[in-house]
Amino acid sequence: MSSGCVLVTGGAGFVGTHSVIELVNAGYSVVVVDNFVNASHESLKRVEEICGAKIPIFSVDLTDKQALADLFKKHKFTSVIHFAGLKAVGESCELPLLYYKVNIGGTTNLLEVMKENNVKNLIFSSSATVYGTPEYLPLDENHPTGGCTNPYGKTKYFIEEIMKDLSKSDPEWNIVILRYFNPVGAHKSGKIGEDPQGVPNNLMPYCAQVAVGKRKEINVYGNDYDTPDGTGVRDYIHVEDIAIGHVAAQKKIEECCGLKIYNLGTGQGYSVMDMINAFSKAAGKPVQYRITGRRPGDVASTYSKPDLAAKELGWKATRGLNTMCEDLWRWQTMNPDGFNSSRPTPKKT
């Protein structure tokens, strides 16, 4: 059992909910804050059911520094896992100021309040988007960052830089930055999963909505890339593997590690067509798709070199492509309208 209370910001979101479960299972006490702009209270009720434990949940926006300060007075946190932020690439191009205010402003508020309360242990949810267009593959942690193609990616990059500067200025800080590749799948119970608001931005939730009959077909943006089948290649990783990575990062923090950066990926690239075919197999029906033109800003291939996390965190992704697709399909069929579905319907066998 582990001691200490971990504050999880954005804990009602996709990766946040799965990570809360793993933290509770590992013996941590957890407090969740979320502003519920892109998340649902229902997701955390389901987390409590899965864990068999009550979790203190506060509706706080990180841009409200006073509310954050009040929370730190109520609870003695030993560390913070920071997921909260806006994350739609397209929207970030339309609303850059909002993204800078929420993601960067929210983070600097959090860091200031942590500092004021002498809580100097932090895990940050970053993204492989900080690498921009790959100069070489696979991407390791030493690959240059900052050539981001959209404001969302830039916010992740700027926050990483802020954290590096903070760490240099005060060696008491222990910060682990986790750069995830493409989280997919869902909890094996089928009770929680990714619940995009409106049209999904990501391939796999879109596949699931086509298979369940909510959408007609999926657009495949470009089939003339320099890849084995011409469609874009990405490193997809099961969300439960990512969640377990956060527990490993929390244990690293407890060693007083200073600033560390790790990729969380499988190291295996799959193409868009690989994913559509694997998902069709899991769903037992073909997912309809249509080939269209390339999207600006998309790169042909990107996948991780995850060796450093294996070596230093003792962490490795263990769930394969079939498990990712089966778990996503279970979530989608049990919850066709996401967390707005009345309650999960047991899957017919």
Catalytic residues: 152
Give yes or no for a contact between 300 and 256, defined as CB atoms under 8 angstroms apart. Answer: no
User: Sign (positive/negative) of CA torsion 188, 211, 38, 323?
Assistant: positive
Give yes or no for a contact between 153 and 127, defined as CB atoms under 8 angstroms apart. Answer: yes
Name residue, tokens 């909910």. 17
| Cβ atoms < 10 Å from Cβ of 61 | 17
Query: b/e map of 148-170 (b: 16 or more CB within 10 Å)?
Result: bbbbbbbbbbbbbeebeebbeee
Give yes or no for a contact between 287 and 279, defined as CB atoms under 8 angstroms apart. Answer: yes
Give yes or no for a contact between 79 and 124, defined as CB atoms under 8 angstroms apart. Answer: no
Give yes or no for a contact between 122 and 174, defined as CB atoms under 8 angstroms apart. Answer: yes
Structure tokens at 69: 């300060």
